[in-house]
Amino acid sequence: MISDTMQAALNDQINAELYSSYLYLSMAAYYQDSDLPGFANWMRMQTLEEGVHATMFFDFLIERGGRVLLQPIAGPPTAWDSPLAPFEQAYEHETVVTRRINDLVTLALEERDHATVTFLDWFVREQVEEEASALAIVKQLRMIGDDRGGLFMLDRELAARVFTPPAANAAG
């Protein structure tokens, strides 16, 4: 049985993951409106990934005998000043998610909740990839600057991203 404290923390993380999905969907809409369908595709794939992460926390909490208590999801921003700005925000957002995951690990260790520590290990590793992926695109966009040809080429590259769900037992 999971503790009330850990249950509350995991419910908060479910909300954070759903917000992440909502944020990336808003970014996809911005890029679609900006005639950058490849960028929109990248964000749509990120939206799907975050939804899966929320579901993984949801399922884990239930498996541990906890109760899922869904909360309202905050509204994300809907406008940015440039094609770079959403990716800068995405990178910053992923660093916040990393801190949240690390805080969950710390709580699980304090509670000697080894099952949750093991479950969270996948997310610790996943966040390394999440931050690196967003930062790589930020760096590319900074190199491109105002070069519309470079933006067009990156848009075509980002259009190739596909969503691959994690293995069924990836986080537990």
Q: Set out the domains of the chain in order of their start, with CATH numbers.
A: 4-70+79-158 (1.20.1260.10)
Measured distance CA(21)–CA(44) in Å, rounded: 9
What pLDDT is recorded for position 172? Answer: 62
What pLDDT is recorded for position 1? Answer: 85
Measured distance CA(44)–CA(132) in Å, rounded: 18
What pLDDT is recorded for position 17? Answer: 98
What pLDDT is recorded for position 63? Answer: 97
Region 73-85: mean pLDDT is 97
pLDDT digits (tens, 9 = 90+) for 109-147: 999 999 999 999 999 999 999 999 999 999 999 999 999
User: To the nearest 5 percent, what fractions of the chain are helix, strand and coil?
Assistant: 75, 0, 25
Region 33-41: mean pLDDT is 98
Share the mean pLDDT of the chain. Answer: 96
Model confidence band, residue 169 (pLDDT cutoffs 50, 70, 90)? low
What pLDDT is recorded for position 51? Answer: 97
Is the per-residue pLDDT at 37 higher than 80? yes
Q: Whole-prediction pTM value?
A: 0.94
